[in-house]
A and B are shown apart, each in its own frame.
Chain A
Amino acid sequence: MSFLARIFLILLPVLIFIFYGKVLLIDDKKSNDYFEPKEFPVFQLNNFDGIPTNLDIISGVKLLNVWASWCITCLVEHPFLSKLAESQIEIIGLNYKDDKTKALDWLKRHGNPYTSLIYDPRGDLAFDLGVTGAPETFLIVDQKIVGHIQGELNEDKWKSTFLPIIQNSQKELN
């Protein structure tokens, strides 16, 4: 085997690994840094008391959290949501494909971090939002969806994804 062939043998994998590393890092940035703002879809659903809710409850800076009593991860993120609620962040709970009594029971047992609730037993609004499962959380500023997290919302994701967007939008307001 010639010297060049030996160099090539080593260089080829080096290039491959560098390439994959680059792709990995780019992918990471893409998913975190930029989110195309979308209008919040129009909907007509009731809350648990049977009172109709609509776009009016979505104003200012709000989180919309998709949850269900059958969802284990929702229970995992529940303490963090409660912490957010304590720090005056308004969270709308979108109850997704759930049973009303089970959902109410769940809130009673674990505590209610939500300022308002939307009951979506068939997943109509969830469908319009493009929800694939629970939990998912949307960040909404002035009826525009500006952030979306699939899966558990935790301290890390809050700090890395939602908090910068909120700070930016507040800067723009000022």
Chain B
Amino acid sequence: MIGEIAHFFSLSAALLLIITLLLNTIFFFSNPNSNQLILSIRLFNQSCWLIFVSFGLYIYLAITDDFSISYIASHSNSQLPIFYKIASIWSAHEGSMFLWIVFLALWSSLFINGLDKNNPLKKLTLIMLILVILGFLLFLLITSNPFSRILPFGVMDGADINPILQDPALAIHPPILYLGYVGFVISFSYVMAYLCKGNFKIEWEEDIRAWSFVAWIFLTVGITLGSWWAYYELGWGGYWFWDPVENVALLPWLAATAFMHSLYASSKSNILKTWTLFLGIMIFSLSLFGAFIVRSGIIDSVHSFANDPQRGLYLLGFSGLMTLLSLVIFAYRIPAINSSKPVITGSKESFLSMNNILMVTSIFSIFLGVTYPLILESFSGEKVSIGPPYYNTIFAPLILIASILIMISVDSLWQRKMLARKFFRSIIPTFILVTSIIYIFWSLIKEFSLLAYIGIFSGLIILVAYFIKIISSLKAKEYINKGSAFAHIGLGILFLSISVNSLLSYQKNINLSVGESLRINESIESFKFSNLNVRTASNHDVISANVFVLMDGVSVNLNPEKRKYSTRGQITSETAIHATPFKDIYLNIGDQLEDGSWTFSLKINYFVKWIWLSSALMVLGMVLAMQKRKI
């Protein structure tokens, strides 16, 4: 019964949104300050509440193990802890779509109610928000109903959540990521309202600045959590796989990052307006495109949901319609907006616009990487997969150019030419310092890879440039933009740690019987497989190896496990990780061979902690930048 009530609430929300939309169409030309706007917002708030309550009831159904709901029956289990019963809701397509809509409604209602009642863009923003929510809500109810029941009888127990998803990082990864994705609906709707309105004197940037910052932070944290989870749970030893779904999450992130930069510029000094508007549209279109890729099953990936062409077509139609509609309006309005101040070469905004171009280039490259296999397959029937080599080769030069621009721009000023004296004063020491650091580094490790050294060089010039800038401005007691400094230092650390990681990390496959030990190299003097334990946990059996590794004079105890889950019969591998500041020991146990020995895969991963640190610094930088008021 509760399931039907929840379903009814969602249906009513959709109906109410349609009514509000019709009401606004009928009274399109009426005065926006009339009661009609107040009524629309009231109706809108009520439908948001209906969605929230419906989702609340759905959580209740999941907690109370209502296995007559087929979605809950196939993704939850009575043995699960409550936390995972709730998390099982977003472990597959229907429930995660529901969560997505809840967040859409949450962001939208918070934003629209927080706007001043005389805001000229309020009505159009509301219409845009309703269009987006309605599009997704109808998608949920028509093609992927989470409320449908198994009739005439339910099942005794659920099929269980996939064991590799039974992990705290993964349980919170989707909600945080969605909060980020969906958060950009606000900038999108506001930008569209501004473009539709046609009154270009309105100052809109300040109204969405904080919202976009928060959405960016959620998106970044969400992506990092996913990457962190992949590192310690999947057991492949990597943190980023250029998987199509990772790529489609990166697309809006890149667009959003470019958007934040250009929003900063246009809210500060009325420049790069067209860019900001364009990127505002891009972020959301790319989010929609991402939803289509993930949920249509058009591309095989670890993330993709079951293949269903009906869903695919709906989402393709919806995202295509929204994107085209917004681009047409943008292209129609653009000549009128093209009146912002000219960009002076060498000024801060000139670097920002170059940064925008680079970001759009990288978006296009990733987009091509995702689409190319499909193009090839549809024309020649040949199946290819595009992986790390493509992306690494494409990104190395882009990163290099971006880093050099960041380095130069550290000392640049808004709307002013850069002084040649200043330019050389900061760049020459940076180059000398970085080159000598790289030379020392190379002479120590004697390993070379062009791509990795490009990355190391890029990371270092950012770090050194900011280092010099911080020291000189502390000395001269000059103002320094803390947010930007933190975020860019984070970026420098990211480039540096990824490159060092790819250069130095190595893997050894080991084959040992219980009680044996082995010397691996100078750093790992002994690898001892001391014993093997078998035990039974609540819903799985465990084989756990007890291994002692003597690395750089320190003995470390590691317990990699293999688990067999009883409900689904799935076997998972639990990686044992010993993380030190500069390198991680990453150990997986494999299969038993015929002679009774076991295989292990030992990976030594460098600078992984620094990758997480870099993301934390970028988020911190954004938090600081968010607090800063317009000058």
Contact = CB atoms under 8 A, between A and B. Distances in A.
A173 interface: no
B328 interface: yes
A122 interface: no
Given A13-B324, A72-B159, A23 B298 contact: yes
B553 interface: no
A21 B313 contact: yes
B156 to A, nearest CB: 9
Contacts of B159: 72-73
Contact of A70 (B320, B334, B569): B569
B620 interface: no
Interface string A15-41: 011011111111110010000000000
Given A23-B298, A73-B74, A10 B309 contact: no
B567 A27 contact: no
A6 interface: yes
A131 interface: no
A24 B298 contact: yes
Contact of A1 (B296, B324, B338): B338
- Chain B at the A interface: mostly helix, strand, loop or mixed? helix
A17 B293 CA distance: 12
A9 B296 contact: no
B492 interface: no
Contacts of B285: 13
Interface string B73-85: 1100000000000
Contacts of B150: 76
Interface string B305-339: 01101001100100110011001101100110010
A75 interface: yes
Given A72-B158, A76-B70, A24 B334 contact: no
Given A13-B324, A20-B292, 17 more contacts: A10-B327, A10-B331, A13-B285, A14-B324, A16-B371, A17-B319, A19-B375, A20-B298, A20-B316, A20-B374, A21-B316, A27-B309, A72-B157, A72-B159, A76-B70, A76-B155, A151-B306
A29 to B, nearest CB: 9
Contacts of A23: 298, 374, 377-378
13 contacts: A6-B331, A7-B331, A13-B323, A17-B316, A17-B319, A17-B320, A19-B374, A21-B320, A24-B296, A25-B313, A31-B307, A72-B73, A72-B74
Contacts of A79: 152
B334 to A, nearest CB: 5
B274 interface: yes
List of 8 A-B pairs having minimum Cβ-Cβ separation, nearest first: A17-B320, A6-B331, A72-B159, A28-B309, A24-B312, A10-B327, A23-B374, A1-B334
A97 interface: yes
A26 B296 CA distance: 13
Interface in B1-51: none
B331 A9 contact: yes
A72 B514 CA distance: 39
Contacts of A76: 70, 150, 155
Contacts of A9: 327, 330-331
Interface in B61-119: 70, 73-74
Interface residues of B, number: 38
Contacts of B307: 27, 31
Contacts of A97: 569
B323 A6 contact: no
Interface of B: 70, 73-74, 150, 152, 155, 157-159, 274, 285, 292, 296, 298, 306-307, 309, 312-313, 316, 319-320, 323-324, 327-328, 330-331, 334-335, 338, 371, 374-375, 377-378, 567, 569
A117 B328 CA distance: 62
Name which of B74, B285, B320, B567 has the most chain A CB atoms within 10 A of its CB. Answer: B320
B309 A25 contact: yes
Nearest to A79: B152
B589 to A, nearest CB: 23
Contacts, number: 74
B274 to A, nearest CB: 7
A150 B490 CA distance: 46
Contacts of B319: 17
Given A1-B334, A73-B74, A24 B313 contact: yes
A155 to B, nearest CB: 13
Nearest to B154: A75
Interface string A128-152: 0000000000000000000000010
B330 to A, nearest CB: 8
Contacts of B324: 10, 13-14, 17
Nearest to A29: B309
A70 B567 contact: yes
B569 A27 contact: no
A144 B306 CA distance: 28
A7 B324 CA distance: 12
Contacts of B320: 13, 17, 21
B299 to A, nearest CB: 10
Nearest to B293: A20
B70 A1 contact: no
A24 B310 CA distance: 9
Nearest to B67: A72
Interface in A36-92: 70, 72-73, 75-76, 79
Name which of A17, A24, A79 has the most chain B CB atoms within 10 A of its CB. Answer: A24
A1 B335 contact: yes
A26 B334 CA distance: 37
Nearest to B375: A19
A24 B328 contact: no
Nearest to A32: B309
Given A17-B316, A72-B159, A24 B335 contact: no
Nearest to A5: B331
A23 B373 CA distance: 11
Contacts of B371: 16, 19
Contacts of A21: 313, 316, 320
B378 A26 contact: yes
A17 B327 CA distance: 14
A104 B4 CA distance: 35
B309 A24 contact: yes
A27 B70 CA distance: 27
Contacts of B335: 1
B73 A13 contact: no
Nearest to A134: B569
A31 B298 CA distance: 12
A122 B602 CA distance: 31
Contacts of A70: 567, 569
Given A6-B334, A70-B569, A22 B327 contact: no
Given A13-B323, A23-B298, A1 B316 contact: no
